[in-house]
Homo-oligomer: A and B are copies of this chain.
Amino acid sequence: VSDPQRANIPMGDGAEFDAIREMLAEWGDLARGVGDDAALLDVALGRGEQLVVSTDASVENVHFRREWMTPEEIGGRATAAALSDLAAMAASPRALLLALGVPESWREELVRLARGVGAMAERASCPIVGGNISRARELSLTITVLGSTAAPLRRSGARPGDSVVVTGRFGGPGAALRALLDGNVPTPADAARFASPVPRLEEARWLAKRGAHAAIDISDGLLADANHLARASGVTLSLDLDAIPRVDGVTAREAAASGEEYELLVALPGDARVATRDFAARFDLPLTVVGSVVAAEGEPVQLRGAPIDLARGHDHLS
């Protein structure tokens, strides 16, 4: 594929990515631009915009357990996860499709699930235009989102000299998950971060306007997603664990490994201090420098003074 926008992007380690690589090998040139947060389509819209599309599944007992959240939260969280992939591309949501797999035991909760989907879609000004409904043995919500952008932020654009910044504070979803798995009650703050994530749509567009070179949303964990972005860009990210902003009661390591944050990790050119100040004033949310981009050398992510076996994140297939 000659157009670099259509080339597939290098991906990280793990069973999930091995499976994707096997399928891409099978498809050859038929697969185009796979490996970013969302696909950038060769479909020109008005005003110099391009179409962006992504699909994301939330499956009961894989991504959540029924007793952990209300149906509204399950619907809203699945929708936020899908929209977060548009945020990572700095795209504006244009349409959403909801494919539901519904066991009989969930049939009575459909409207509450739909309410959660609708509330999050409404918040993102994203019309719901279609979907599919099927019987299934486990509840699943497969959400496809379409967006548009004149200035897509890709995983592959980071360059040596960029600052690495992150939105928000980390560790809440991971702390909530640990508590839930241990049979404990998460703190209200952690539970809210886990059950009600917010896609950073406006924040991403603001950062794109400030000249950001690359972005990824944090679904697998900050270090794992930093690894994805570094591989996609062919660079190394040098990160300072202690610089990662975190919620109360979690360690730096826990913050760095916490998944399903739906915050953004962004490569900003040069010194990012002015951007972090302006961002915090605009969004009432911290934007924090956590490291820098250097030329590729050794591992894609290097931690200042820490081992790097944290960099795996969790894997949806293994």
Contacts and interface: CB of A to CB of B under 8 A. Distances in A.
A51 interface: yes
A71 to B, nearest CB: 12
Interface in A106-131: 107, 110-111, 114-115, 118, 121-122, 127-131
B130 A16 contact: no
23 contacts: A22-B110, A23-B111, A26-B111, A26-B114, A27-B114, A30-B127, A30-B128, A31-B129, A39-B129, A43-B51, A44-B45, A53-B97, A53-B129, A53-B130, A55-B55, A59-B134, A63-B134, A107-B317, A132-B142, A134-B316, A135-B317, A140-B140, A146-B146
Given A43-B45, A55-B142, A135-B317, 11 more contacts: A20-B131, A26-B118, A27-B118, A34-B131, A41-B95, A41-B129, A54-B130, A55-B55, A57-B132, A63-B134, A101-B101
Contacts of A274: none
Contact of A97 (B39, B61, B118, B131): B39
A16 B57 contact: no
**Closest 10 pairs between A and B when the two form their complex, measured CB to CB:** A39-B129, A39-B130, A23-B114, A142-B142, A144-B144, A55-B97, A31-B128, A27-B118, A26-B114, A32-B127
Interface residues of A, number: 65
A317 B118 contact: no
The complex is assembled from copies of this chain, and their number is 2
A151 interface: no
